[in-house]
């Protein structure tokens, strides 16, 4: 079952974000500054992924979503793309036991049919093996694009309506009709979005789901991201007043939920 919209519930007090989504940027620049090949930055980036998963678990974050490979990343040099694919395969093979033992449920979202069959098979196995875990849901966005997600959801909704007949197809499409077909319908919308590497863009990440998310940008390159940087982002999040379109006075007088 999916969450129709997390914007209907207003938290009593801003505590730990339930869902953090991260654009892990700056691997290439981290490496270039050290006169290393760009791919060395991706290898170190994987260490930062491990540390971040662990830090989120310790802080009680329930959902962590990482942008590992965008629909646009295929435009990178062939060698770099193939290194990233190998890194993805070895991470899936090596880390799955640890994820499972720590109660982590893994999801991979994106147009996975573009990946080699070995990757698709490893993803299916990893998702199956961890499906009953509930401590932290780790989502890797791979060959993902926010516009792709909205389009694929619209196509699924239209196909479902077509099966129900011409009247259903002609009926209006509402937000609540589309949301269950989005690729992350199993998760609440992100509370906190973090982008490392100094750029202040969403870069076609979760476009629909970030509508009310607090945005946090840091100049740190992804391989340097650590628990202390995560804590800075969470502390800043806790200072923000999430109004979801209402006035500040309304939020302060709120009993916690919109009528
Ligand atoms: C962006 O940095 C990073 C990527 C496109 C790849 C992210 C991959 C990892 C962090 C490692 C693997 C992760 C998993 C989950 C297996 P960039 O190369 O765009 O850096 P730049 O902006 O400095 O060039």
Query: Edge to edge, what strands does the sheet with 19-23 contain?
Result: 104-109, 136-144, 63-70, 19-23, 192-195, 214-217
Please give the annotated binding residues for substrate, written as ranges.
Answer: 26-30, 38, 42, 70-72, 74, 76, 195, 201-203
* % of the chain exceeding 70 in pLDDT: 92
Q: What's phi and psi for 23, nearest 5 deg?
A: -95, 110
Domains and CATH numbers, the chain: 19-253 (3.40.1180.10)
Residues contacting 187, CB < 8 A, separation 6+: 3, 19, 63, 65, 137, 139
Nearest CA to ligand 1 atom 24: 28
Q: What is the pLDDT of residues 2-45, one digit of tens each?
A: 444 444 444 444 689 999 999 999 999 999 999 999 999 999 99
Per the annotation, the verdict on 73 as an active-site residue is: yes
| Mean pLDDT on 121-136 | 96
Pocket of ligand 1 contains residue 222 by CB under 6 Å:
yes
- Return the closest-CA partner of residue 50 out of 29, 66, 73, 70: 66
pLDDT of residue 79: 94
Per the annotation, the verdict on 25 as an active-site residue is: yes
Q: What is the pLDDT of residues 47-74, one digit of tens each?
A: 999 999 999 999 999 999 999 999 889 9
* % of the chain exceeding 90 in pLDDT: 85
Q: What's phi and psi for 148, nearest 5 deg?
A: -55, -45
Per-chain mean pLDDT for the chain: 91
| Mean pLDDT on 167-182 | 94
pLDDT of residue 1: 38
Nearest CA to ligand 1 atom 10: 45
Q: Is residue 249 scored above 90 in pLDDT? A: no
Nearest CA to ligand 1 atom 13: 46
Residue 219 · residue 195 · CB < 8 Å: no
Ligand 1 atom closest to the Cα of residue 73 is 5
Residue 24 · residue 68 · CB < 8 Å: yes
pLDDT of residue 97: 94
Q: Is residue 109 scored above 90 in pLDDT? A: yes
Pocket of ligand 1 contains residue 25 by CB under 6 Å:
yes
According to DSSP, the β-strands at 63-70 and 19-23 are: parallel
Pocket of ligand 1 contains residue 122 by CB under 6 Å:
no
Check residues 25 and 246 and name the one with the higher pLDDT: 25
pLDDT of residue 2: 42
pTM: 0.90
pLDDT of residue 64: 98
pLDDT of residue 241: 77
pLDDT of residue 254: 63
Pocket of ligand 1 contains residue 29 by CB under 6 Å:
yes
Residues 236 and 231: their CA atoms lie apart, in Å, by: 9
pLDDT of residue 246: 81
Using a 10 angstrom Cβ sphere, with 0-12 exposed, 13-18 middle and 19 or more buried, the burial of residue 201 is exposed
pLDDT of residue 12: 42
Q: Which two tokens stand for residue 2?
A: 């999916």
């Amino acid at each position: 079952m999916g969450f129709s919209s997390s914007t209907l519930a207003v938290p009593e007090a801003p505590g730990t974000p339930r869902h953090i989504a991260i654009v892990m940027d700056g691997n290439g620049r981290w490496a270039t500054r050290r006169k290393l090949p760009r791919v060395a930055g991706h290898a170190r980036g994987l260490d930062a992924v491990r540390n971040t998963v662990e830090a989120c678990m310790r802080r009680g974050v329930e959902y962590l979503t990482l942008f590992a490979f965008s629909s646009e990343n295929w435009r990178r040099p062939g060698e770099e793309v193939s290194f990233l694919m190998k890194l993805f395969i070895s991470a899936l093979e090596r880390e799955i036991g640890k994820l499972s033992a720590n109660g982590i449920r893994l999801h991979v979202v994106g147009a996975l049919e573009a990946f080699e069959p070995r990757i698709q098979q490893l993803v299916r196995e990893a998702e199956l093996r961890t499906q009953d875990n509930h401590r932290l849901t780790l989502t890797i966005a791979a060959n993902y694009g926010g516009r792709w997600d909205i389009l694929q959801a619209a196509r699924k909704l239209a196909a479902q309506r077509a099966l129900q007949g011409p009247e259903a197809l002609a009926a209006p499409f509402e937000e609540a009709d589309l949301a269950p077909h989005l690729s992350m319908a199993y998760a609440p919308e992100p509370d906190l979005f973090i982008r490392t590497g100094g750029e202040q863009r969403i870069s076609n990440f979760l476009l629909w789901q970030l509508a009310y998310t607090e945005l946090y940008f840091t100049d740190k390159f992804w391989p340097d991201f650590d628990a202390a940087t995560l804590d800075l982002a969470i502390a800043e999040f806790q200072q923000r007043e999430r109004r979801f379109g209402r006035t500040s006075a309304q939020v302060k007088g709120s009993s916690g939920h919109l009528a």
